[in-house]
Amino acid sequence: MKTVMIDMDNVLTDGVFKEYIEEFYKIEIDLNEIKDYAYVQKLTKKDSKQFWEFVQDKNFYLEAPLFQDCYEVLEKLNSKYDLYIVTSYLWNEEIDVSGHNLKNKYYYLKERLPFIGPEKYIFTTNKSLMNFDIRIDDRLNNLSGATTKLLFTAWHNKDLSKEELKKKNTIRVNSWKEIEDILL
């Protein structure tokens, strides 16, 4: 059975970082205008301490829906592949409270994707430590080493050209339906 690494943030769900920044600053953010992966750090830089205090007790995932078709497609993939959810949980700005984030991620996955057991969750900041046949992630660097590399479209990778992706043997996917078409 082939192994599949599935990223969590911006692949299974969005979390609500954006909403917290909007609430903190009383502004509206259009992700279509943002190209930087680390936009949260950038936007909150001058109030970093206060912002991380503001979010530290919040559960980013409580009301975050899974992306469309994610549940159904994963359920089908689960009978054909050996699936792993591989996700980082550390907030470098507020490392001491990152444990909350890990706990929130754990219960979110357990509740929303009950057919994937907790033994298939891998919490790590270094996805290159492991080998997988297939990788699905919104960050190009995290796809290295796989035979099949699927880049899930997100605000920060939209500008990567077809040529660049081809060079890296990577296929762009815009939805879970597209993942289904490729893997099933």
Binding residue for Mg ion (CB under 5 A) from 5, 6, 10, 16?
10
Interface stretch with Mg ion, choices 1-9, 19-27, 68-76, 118-126 (CB under 5 A): 1-9
Binding residue for Mg ion (CB under 5 A) from 4, 5, 6, 7?
7
Q: Could you tell me the smallest distance in angstroms from the CB atom of residue 89 to Mg ion?
A: 12
Long-range contacts of 126-130 (CB under 8 A, 24+ apart): 127/5, 127/7, 127/86, 127/88, 130/5, 130/86
* Contacts of residue 40, Cβ cutoff 8 Å, sequence gap at least 6: 17, 21
For 62, counting Cβ atoms within 10 Å of its Cβ (0-12 exposed, 13-18 middle, 19+ buried), the class is exposed
- Is position 14 an interface residue for Mg ion (rule: CB under 5 A)? no
Query: Using CB under 5 A, which residues numbered 85 to 144 contact Mg ion?
Result: 138
Q: Could you tell me the smallest distance in angstroms from the CB atom of residue 50 to Mg ion?
A: 26
Q: Could you tell me the smallest distance in angstroms from the CB atom of residue 38 to Mg ion?
A: 12
- CA–CA distance, 76 with 132 (Å, rounded to integer): 19
Q: Could you tell me the smallest distance in angstroms from the CB atom of residue 154 to Mg ion?
A: 7
Residue nearest to Mg ion (CB): 9
> How many residues are present in the chain?
184
Which residue ranges make up the site for Mg ion (CB under 5 A)?
7, 9-10, 138
